[in-house]
């Protein structure tokens, strides 16, 4: 009988994270200072990030040691299992083998804990007392709240207003771990007030919540900002996922044909896929597929340009696929995928055709999620279900037996109201918001 799980022991948890940039056959365009339009000076980030993370952001070392304190915490749930979705395969009547890397077993329910602990650790080490951040669906906010609790830091989370109301229980999790949760846009920051003046009913977006959190960090000396995705150091911490998958596939005697992940800011997909980029450069047949929502299609419909990471233009300019920093995506239930841009690293890989991108509407994504829940038992987060939808489509389309591996970024046990809406036929698809995107793209910085 074939094994349904490929498990590793605690001693197999990687000792280093993998830093892809020095292995790339091209140079990543640097972040730019919006005032001078020149490459950003390292010191410019000191107002909001600790030196340890800034060094990782620009590092040219291929391997970066995981400090013992962080690796020790990872032992709470890592290594995560690589599971074979045999019952899903049978349901689909596919010859292909489908595996999923189960990041939902983390204490907070998603991959976000991998970087939250690392970020809290480096901030604590450098004497910071308080972290502020943004969150969409609340997975990142709860992960950072947990990590701040572990390292005795205060934590404030600006939660996108639409998700604040859609996902009340993630708010409860953040409260349990001692964090303060503020619906964004709020009256607590200048950027929030400005947005509310223009539109008192604004539902918020990740771009707006980032502006509020960055502003809070800049104004408070003992406070730093923490970002749950997009930046190089965040993807670096997440490479622990792909490094474990490599070991697990080897144990299972498999070589992947498809690597699939959902993409919001790009951290779970990046962490899962970046350790395989060197393989992809040698083996054209290996396909790496980033899956995004059709309502917020940065990789498939955005422009590859320099843009701000937030709405109030407080961040450096990043070269990435973007829909424009003023674009406010429709209120889909995959709140963690409602980001106007995408990690510069993932964007550059898409631009260089190393990664392909596809987009799906939310109803078809929820259908895939329910098929998965019925066959494999685990209820996926709506974000994760995007990857599942792509994997199911590929398994149905492929006539030959392929090895399909996806990153199962999180569970959806706190997203059940979205499932209720889907089952009651109340979910709707959003047409590609062409006019909104066209309008937002007009505000791109001209470099």
Ligand X SMILES: Cc1ncc(COP(=O)(O)O)c(C=O)c1O
What is the contact surface with ligand X in residues (CB under 6 A)? 110, 136-137, 139-140, 229, 262-269, 336-337, 381, 383-384, 409-410
Q: Give min distance, CB of 408 to ligand X, in A.
A: 9
Q: How far is the CB of 245 from ligand X (least distance, A)?
A: 15
Least separation in angstroms between CB 234 and ligand X: 7
Based on CB atoms, which residue is closest to ligand X, 14 or 265?
265
Distance CA 178, CA 124 (A): 16
> What does residue 295 show for φ and ψ, rounded to 5 degrees?
-80, -15
In the complex, minimum distance from the CB of residue 399 to ligand X, in angstroms, rounded to a whole number:
30
Which residue lies nearer to ligand X by CB, 54 or 273? 273
Least distance from ligand X to the Cβ atom of residue 253, Å: 29
The residue with tokens 């005697």 is: 253
DSSP 14-80: -SEEE--GGGSSSPPPPPB-TTT-SBPPGGGGTTTS-HHHHHHHH---SEEEPPHHHHHHHTTTPSP
Q: Where would I find the H helices in 41-182?
A: 51-58, 68-74, 86-92, 113-125, 139-150, 161-166, 168-176
Rank residues 19 and 229 by Cβ distance to ligand X and give the closer one: 229
- Residue whose Cβ sits closest to ligand X: 336
> Measured from the CB atom, is 209 or 395 closer to ligand X?
209
* Tokens describing residue 62: 């291929």
Min dist CB 386 to ligand X, Å, is 8
Kindly tell me which of 17 and 97 has the beta carbon lying closer to ligand X.
17
Give 92 or 159: the residue with its C-beta nearer to ligand X.
Answer: 159
d(CA 289, CA 274) in angstroms, rounded, equals 12
3-class SS of residue 8: coil
Do residues 293 and 300 lie in contact, with contact meaning Cβ atoms separated by under 8 Å? no
């Amino acid at each position: 009988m074939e094994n349904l799980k490929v498990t590793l022991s605690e001693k197999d948890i990687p000792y280093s994270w993998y830093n892809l940039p020095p292995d790339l056959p091209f140079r990543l365009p640097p972040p730019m200072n919006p005032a001078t339009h020149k490459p950003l000076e390292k010191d410019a980030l000191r107002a909001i990030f600790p030196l340890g993370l800034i060094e990782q952001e620009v590092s040219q070392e291929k391997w970066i040691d995981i400090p013992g304190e962080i690796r020790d915490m990872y032992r709470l749930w890592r290594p995560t299992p690589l599971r074979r979705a045999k019952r899903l395969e049978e349901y689909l009547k596919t010859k292909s083998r489908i595996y999923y890397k189960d990041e939902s077993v983390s204490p907070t329910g998603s991959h976000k804990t991998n970087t939250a602990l690392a970020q809290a650790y480096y901030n604590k080490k450098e004497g910071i007392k308080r972290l502020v951040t943004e969150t969409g669906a609340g997975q990142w906010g709860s992960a950072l709240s947990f990590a701040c609790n572990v390292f005795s830091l205060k934590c404030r989370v600006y939660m996108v207003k639409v998700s604040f109301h859609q996902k009340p229980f993630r708010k409860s999790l953040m409260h349990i771990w001692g964090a303060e949760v503020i619906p964004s846009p709020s009256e607590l920051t200048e950027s929030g007030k400005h947005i509310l003046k223009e539109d008192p009913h604004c539902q918020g977006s990740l771009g707006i919540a980032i502006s509020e959190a960055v502003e809070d960090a800049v104004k408070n000396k003992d406070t730093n900002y923490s970002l749950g995705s997009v930046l190089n150091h965040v993807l670096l911490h997440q490479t622990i996922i792909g490094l474990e998958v490599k070991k697990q596939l080897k144990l299972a005697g498999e070589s992947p044909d498809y690597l699939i992940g959902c993409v919001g800011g790009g951290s779970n997909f990046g962490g899962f896929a970046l350790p395989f980029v060197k393989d992809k450069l040698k083996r054209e047949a290996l396909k790496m597929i980033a899956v995004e929502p059709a309502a917020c299609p940065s990789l498939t419909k955005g422009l590859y340009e320099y843009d701000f990471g937030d709405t109030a233009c407080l961040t450096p300019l990043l070269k990435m696929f973007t829909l424009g920093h003023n674009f406010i995506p429709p209120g889909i239930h995959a709140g963690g995928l409602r980001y106007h841009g995408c990690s510069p690293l993932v964007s550059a890989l898409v631009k260089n055709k190393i990664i392909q991108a596809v987009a799906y509407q939310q109803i078809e994504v929820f259908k895939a999620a329910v098929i998965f829940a019925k066959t494999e038992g685990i209820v996926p987060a709506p974000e994760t279900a995007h990857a599942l939808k792509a994997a199911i489509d590929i398994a149905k389309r492929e006539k030959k037996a392929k090895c399909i591996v996806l990153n199962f970024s999180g569970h959806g046990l706190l997203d059940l109201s979205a499932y209720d809406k889907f089952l009651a036929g109340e979910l709707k698809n959003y047409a590609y918001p062409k006019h909104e995107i066209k309008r937002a793209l007009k505000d791109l910085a001209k470099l």
